[in-house]
């Protein structure tokens, strides 16, 4: 077995596609309308579904907002340079809600961004960075 995809319900599909594709750099892999069910599915990701886990964005027609509740956590993405990634996200109009830095009670460098529907996305530094990189935290705007 392997993970195929994770699904998020979104209130505005075009706005969400702009965020995931233009801001986070994913590609729209496929999209299909289901008129009888009044919904659209769009699959985005960093590679082909045959060998990558992807994200399914579900837009139920006529629903513009969802209560995210308190059970949802976040999606995690690995990035080689978290400081550059956050700066690029901000430059493209995204919102960094937790600036890059070591996680509480650990050394892993993380940051959080929020998508247009309020879903949290954790960025995790995958490449080791020199200690001097922590000085860059101030260069990333946090909402």
Burial 87-101 (b: 16+ CB within 10 A, else e): bebbeeebbbebbbb
- At 106-127, the pLDDT tens digits run 999 999 999 999 999 999 999 8
Residues 14, 71: Cα–Cα separation, whole Å:
26
Residue 45 included in any domain: yes
Q: Are residues 80 and 132 in the same domain?
A: yes
CATH number for the domain that contains residue 97: 3.10.180.10
Residue ranges in the chain assigned as alpha helix (H): 13-17, 82-91
| 143 part of a folded domain | no
Q: What was the pLDDT predicted at 70? A: 85
Same domain, 39 and 92: no
Indicate which residue of 64, 65, 122, 141 is catalytic. Answer: 122
Q: How many domains does the chain have?
A: 2
pTM for this prediction = 0.85
Q: How many CB atoms lie within 10 A of CB 51?
A: 7
- The upper half-sphere exposure of residue 111, i.e. CA atoms within 13 Å in the direction of its Cβ, equals 32
Domain that holds residue 12: 5-60
80 noted as active-site residue: no
pLDDT at 134: 44
In a domain, 69, yes or no: no
């Amino acid at each position: 077995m392997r993970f195929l995809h994770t699904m998020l319900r979104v209130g505005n599909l075009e706005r969400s596609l702009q965020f995931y594709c233009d801001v986070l750099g994913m590609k729209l892999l496929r999209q299909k309308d289901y008129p009888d069910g009044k919904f659209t599915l769009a699959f985005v990701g960093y590679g082909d579904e045959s060998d990558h886990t992807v994200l399914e964005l579900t837009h139920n027609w006529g629903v513009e907002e969802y209560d995210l509740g308190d059970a949802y956590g976040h999606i995690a993405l690995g990035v080689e340079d978290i400081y550059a990634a956050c700066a690029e996200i901000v430059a493209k109009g995204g919102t960094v809600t937790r600036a890059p830095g070591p996680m509480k009670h650990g050394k892993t460098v993380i940051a959080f961004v929020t998508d247009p529907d309020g879903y949290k996305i954790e960025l995790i530094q995958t490449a080791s960075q020199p200690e001097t990189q922590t000085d860059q935290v101030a260069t990333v705007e946090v909402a």
